[in-house]
Amino acid sequence: MVIDKVRLGAFLEKLAAEIVAREDWGKVADYIPELAKVDPAQFAVSMVLADGTELNAGATDQRFSIQSVSKVFTLASVLGRQGESVWVRVGREPSGDRFDSILLLEQEKGRPRNPFINAGAIVTTDELLAGRTPREALSEILIFLRDAAEDEDIQIDEKVAASEKRTGFRNAALANYLASFGNLKNPPEMTLGTYFHQCAIEMTTLQLARAGRSIAQLPVSARMLLPERARRICSLMMTCGHYDGSGDFAFRVGLPGKSGVGGGILLIAPKRASIALWSPGLNGYGNSQMGTYAAERIARFTGWSVFG
């Protein structure tokens, strides 16, 4: 099906205007004090299509904290550098628990269910750190994002990283618990510091949609992943990208997505489009409330779905 780009652009404008007029934004993340300061009543969507067309609506030049969306790019970097060996340390199953839960970690002897819950992402960051300094590991993620987005102006917000470091008690618990099972190669504080910085990368929706071209396998992507790797990352985004809300997201949207507590969602229509959504108010799962709503509306409008 050929998509009418003019109609799609008009639809996104209308959707943004409709959302801005609503009042059910959800609540901003307050366990990271810097994020608690953000006004929830904001929305942006950017989309890059397979032919390179870019469509934008809302506050698409506003930078936001990508938080857990970064976990997709850390995983891609680790797989690119080390191949599949990371799967010894982290699984590929949805957890059905909150993103910061410690419950299964005890039962399953320190091997997190997947690389997108916090425990699993701490392991992939630890893997990326192997044999290198935190600065080098963070550079690798930033270089990946800058290359993929073809934009050098992508940085870490040090204030957000410091804010999470001060209050990230659950992540500290998870890192120490992982270390107690021998599933951390570096000192917990080193891995955690790197993880907090990775989560504190800030981007606009346009930058994120451009970076996502690599995951979406768009021919216009400046950084291509192996097709099998991109497909596998998308499978994990579909099954685990929204934590204990992943089933509901798949049901409503039918496309792989990865959320972050900054309110960002990277949504992938494989080989068709890379879509970035941002709205900082969160639903009960800690995923963007209006971002999820917009993803559902976009999937319905375009007919895009990995289920045919």
* Positions marked active-site: 68, 71, 195, 243, 261
Beta-carbon contacts of 262 under 8 Å, excluding residues fewer than 6 positions away, are 29, 35, 38, 64, 65, 66, 67, 69, 278, 280
Cα gap 280→121, rounded to integer Å: 21
Give the torsion sign (CA, 166, 34, 77, 105): positive
CB neighbour class for 166 (10 Å; exposed up to 12, middle 13-18, buried from 19): exposed
Nearer to ligand DON among residue 187 and residue 219 (C-beta)? 187
CA angle 68, 254, 94 (to 5 degrees): 50
Q: Which residue of this chain has its Cβ atom nearest to ligand DON in the complex?
A: 68
User: Considering only residues 287, 289, 292, 302, which one is a binding residue for ligand DON as defined by CB under 6 A?
Assistant: 287
User: Considering only residues 47, 199, 203, 230, which one is a binding residue for ligand DON as defined by CB under 6 A?
Assistant: 199
Query: Is 260 a binder of ligand DON (CB under 6 A)?
Result: yes
Beta-carbon contacts of 299 under 8 Å, excluding residues fewer than 6 positions away, are 252, 253, 254, 255, 305
Any idea what DSSP says for residue 224? P
Query: Is 191 a binder of ligand DON (CB under 6 A)?
Result: no
Cα gap 147→238, rounded to integer Å: 25
3-state secondary structure of 194: helix
Residues in 61-100 at the binding interface with ligand DON, rule: CB under 6 A: 67-68, 99-100
Query: Is 194 a binder of ligand DON (CB under 6 A)?
Result: no
Closest approach of ligand DON to the CB of residue 72, in Å: 11
Nearer to ligand DON among residue 55 and residue 129 (C-beta)? 129
Residues in 153-172 at the binding interface with ligand DON, rule: CB under 6 A: 164, 171
User: Considering only residues 110, 188, 270, 286, which one is a binding residue for ligand DON as defined by CB under 6 A?
Assistant: 286
Residues in 94-133 at the binding interface with ligand DON, rule: CB under 6 A: 99-100, 118
Query: Is 259 a binder of ligand DON (CB under 6 A)?
Result: yes
Nearer to ligand DON among residue 77 and residue 171 (C-beta)? 171
> Per the structure block, which two tokens stand in for 94?
């949805």
Query: Is 60 a binder of ligand DON (CB under 6 A)?
Result: no
Q: Which residue has the tokens 């059910």?
A: 24
Query: Is 57 a binder of ligand DON (CB under 6 A)?
Result: no
Residues that bind ligand DON (CB under 6 A): 67-68, 99-100, 118, 164, 171, 199, 259-261, 286-287
